[in-house]
Amino acid sequence: MRKTGSGLQIDENFPLTKGALLLGFVFLLLLPVVARYSDYVLQVFTHALLLATLALAWNILGISGSISLGHAAFFGVGAYGSVLLSLELGISPWFTIPLGGLVATGFAVITALFCLRLRGGYFALATLAFVEIPKVITDNWDSLTRGSLGLLGLPGLPTLSLGSYHFDISASPVASYYFVLSYALLLICLVALIFRSNLGLALHAVRQEEAAAEAVGIQVQRYRLLSLLLSAFFTGIGGACYAHLIRYVEPSLVYGLHFSAIPMIFAICGGRFTVLGPPLAALVLYPIDQFIFHPLLPAGHEFLYGAIIILAILFMPSGFWGRLGKGHLVSAKTGSIE
Amino acid sequence: MWTTAFVSGITLGSFYTLIALGFALIFGVTHTFNLAHGELLVLAGFVSYWLWKTFGLSLVFTFPAAILLSFAVCLILQRLFSRLREPLELNSVVVSFGVAILLQNSMLFCFSGDYRLIRVPALNQGLRLHTFYLSYGQLTLLALSLLVMGLLYLLMHQTYLGKALRATMQDREAAALAGINVGVMGVLAFGIGAVLIGLAGPLYGCIQYLYPTAGLQATLIAITITIFAGIGRLHGLILGGWILGLVESLAVVLLGASWREMVSAVMLLILLAMKPHGILGREG
């Protein structure tokens, strides 16, 4: 009873009809055919899809009400974990990418020791500070990571062959697009499952009223830990995919504000109480940034993200798609991010 | 070597207290975290750098412009923050994070991403006594930081305005009942905070490189010292600044200069682990 009731409510939050979603899906599937002559368009959408996976991963923690400003830590640790395993031990990236996710999860355990007892603004501050630690260590561990110079010429993902079709994921923009698209679709399904599972329901309860959730027997800290670890795992995998796709890592790149701020902004703007809001925000906002603002303002075009998050918190705290839906109930009580 | 490290730690620490003063005042009075604090500081530094470089203005004359600009931005920030709903701490963190991104990109647009430093040759000379060395720059930094702290202490303890501000910090509701306009106090806190940022920014540009994303370090320093001190305790801010400065100098001597950036982050995490309910969560 509880399961179906609350589980369905989450889907009903989402205002887009099945038809519109199907149309979007077909658009994504056929994009390489349409954009065949422009590698740039494909690259932008590949990165938008990667950011969509990061926003989905961020939101696994986000539904519990905790706001992280430091997911670049998991992204960077996952990227470096996978890259170093494949470089030093010669393991194929197919295996090191999930291992990178596990390394990020291990780092999340350390994060949890410091941050999990914190709530609200203090949790956010702690995550912001936590990025500095792996960043400075990576910067200084010259013998392993070559410090701030970064690592070049990383092993790419191998070519998949199906009969006469060759699918060179690292070299061909079309192949890397489909690779990231399939990961994004997989993650959407996984996050939808998490939302409907006991974990997801418990996290919703924790966000809405932690004391009440505890009173009905939800082990709040255990669920918060689980959501942090899952979120870090998928963010780490995102980092590892990114590193092997562009075949280059550098501390200031993978631990940069870009990978902390942008997934958070997409998740909050898209709607933290929905599965599809965060990835949709990524697929709409990132191309707008790249195709419209980047040509106009080559330096400083990311001001857009700052402006968007300010407007979102002030005027639509439950996010763009969260507000249009019936699920405004979720935050009608306080009318703000919790 | 140890005395030099000690002196530079105390000097740097006093300056860190100056950096934290504005942040602590705004947080104390309005209970909002301003994550754009460091960006404001760097912006003030950039304005000073620009006037110094383009018009050959002496550093002293660039302060009014830096203060004026940080004043304008802080008032806009105050308008934004006054529209926030509960929980104020979390909402202010996210909104000011957005403001920080806005400011970073504006600085990238106006001043490019290059590293800049305000070089005043006179400040690099100094006093030498055997192995002990103190540059005029350090002396200026120490003297100015202590002077500003002294003035702020006088303002807070010798004037009616200061009394009202302190009352608001201690208990907003009681202060409001006593006839203090808490909203006006919030605006004043941002105003005084802006002046402090405008004073610290150009000095920051003399000792550290300015670049659009340099603000995060200063923000972390300000948060660490504020959380260490608690609300409305000036001596706590000074002590916190000195401890942070000394630990940073120690880290530079023992580990090397490149580890310095981690010190404030680690200290903040340890402090938060010890005070999991934050500053306001205390009972009674």
ipTM of the complex: 0.89
Q: Which of B73, B211, B262, B267 is most worth mutating to test chain A (most A CB atoms within 10 A of its CB)?
A: B262
Chain B segment 198-237 residues within 8 A of A by beta carbon are 213, 216, 220, 223
Cis ω for the linkage preceding B87 (within 30 of 0): yes
What residues of A are in contact with residue B265 (Cβ under 8 Å)? 129-133, 136
What residues of B are in contact with residue A303 (Cβ under 8 Å)? 101-102, 105-106, 109
CB contact under 8 A, A118 and B89: no
Query: What is the average pLDDT across B211-239?
Result: 89
What residues of A are in contact with residue B216 (Cβ under 8 Å)? 128, 257
pLDDT score of B88 more than 90? no
Say whether residue B97 is in contact with chain A using an 8 A CB cutoff.
yes
**DSSP structural state of residue B276:** T
Q: Tokens representing B52?
A: 């110094």
CB contact under 8 A, A140 and B259: yes
Output the pLDDT for position A295.
87
From the CA of A310, how many Å to the nearest CA of chain B?
A: 5
Least CB-CB distance to A139: which of B102, B258, B278? Answer: B258
Output the pLDDT for position B102.
94
From the CA of A258, how many Å to the nearest CA of chain B?
A: 10
CB contact under 8 A, A122 and B272: yes
| Cβ(A136)–Cβ(B259) below 8 Å | yes
Phi, psi of B132 (to 5 degrees): -85, 135
Residues 6+ apart with CB under 8 A from B142: B10, B11, B14, B15
Number of structural domains in chain B: 1
What residues of A are in contact with residue B259 (Cβ under 8 Å)? 136, 140
Residues 6+ apart with CB under 8 A from B102: A303, A306, A307, A310
| Cβ(B244)–Cβ(B150) below 8 Å | no
B198 within some domain: yes
B65 within some domain: yes
Q: Which of A142, A302, A310 is most worth mutating to test chain B (most B CB atoms within 10 A of its CB)?
A: A310
CB contact under 8 A, A313 and B94: yes
Say whether residue A285 is in contact with chain B using an 8 A CB cutoff.
no
Q: Which residue in chain A has the smallest CA separation from B269? A: A126
pLDDT band at B283 (very low <50, low <70, confident <90, very high): very low
Q: Which residue in chain B has the smallest CA separation from A68? A: B94
Say whether residue B257 is in contact with chain A using an 8 A CB cutoff.
no
pLDDT band at B8 (very low <50, low <70, confident <90, very high): confident
B277 within some domain: no
Least CB-CB distance to A303: which of B105, B261, B269? Answer: B105
Q: Which of A132, A293, A337 is most worth mutating to test chain B (most B CB atoms within 10 A of its CB)?
A: A132
Least CB-CB distance to B112: which of A125, A299, A302? Answer: A299
In DSSP notation, B25-41 reads: HHHHHH----TTHHHHH
From the CA of B204, how many Å to the nearest CA of chain A?
A: 20
**DSSP structural state of residue B125:** -
For residues A114 and A59, what is the distance between their CA atoms, to the nearest angstrom?
Answer: 20
Least CB-CB distance to A121: which of B89, B269, B276? Answer: B89
B230 within some domain: no
Residue ranges making up the domain that contains B148: 13-214
**Quick one: CATH architecture of A2-332?**
Orthogonal Bundle (1.10)
B278 within some domain: no
Q: Which residue in chain B has the smallest CA separation from A122? A: B278
* Contacts of range B72-75, beta carbons closer than 8 Å, 24 or more positions apart: B73/B40, B73/B43, B73/B103, B73/B194, B74/B40, B74/B190, B74/B191, B74/B193, B74/B194, B74/B197, B75/B187, B75/B190, B75/B191, B75/B194
CB contact under 8 A, B98 and A305: yes
From the CA of A55, how many Å to the nearest CA of chain B?
A: 16
Q: Tokens representing B235?
A: 């001596």
Output the pLDDT for position A99.
93
Q: Give pLDDT < 50 ranges for chain A.
A: 1-11, 325-338
Chain A segment 95-124 residues within 8 A of B by beta carbon are 113-115, 117-122, 124
Residue A254, CA distances (Å) to A260, A286, B266 in order = 9, 18, 20
Output the pLDDT for position B280.
61
Chain A segment 221-250 residues within 8 A of B by beta carbon are none
pLDDT score of B31 more than 50? yes
Q: Which residue in chain B has the smallest CA separation from A118? A: B276
In DSSP notation, A107-155 reads: HHHHHHHHHTT--HHHHHHHHHHHTHHHHHHHHH-HHHH-GGG-EES--
Say whether residue A126 is in contact with chain B using an 8 A CB cutoff.
yes
CB contact under 8 A, B93 and A136: no
What residues of A are in contact with residue B89 (Cβ under 8 Å)? 120-122
| Cβ(B40)–Cβ(B201) below 8 Å | yes
User: How many residues make up chain B in this entry?
Assistant: 284
From the CA of B175, how many Å to the nearest CA of chain A?
A: 25
B150 within some domain: yes
Output the pLDDT for position B20.
93
- Higher-confidence residue: A10 or B235? B235
Amino acid identity of residue B254, one-letter, is L
| Cβ(A128)–Cβ(B227) below 8 Å | no
Least CB-CB distance to A129: which of B90, B258, B268? Answer: B268
Output the pLDDT for position B43.
95
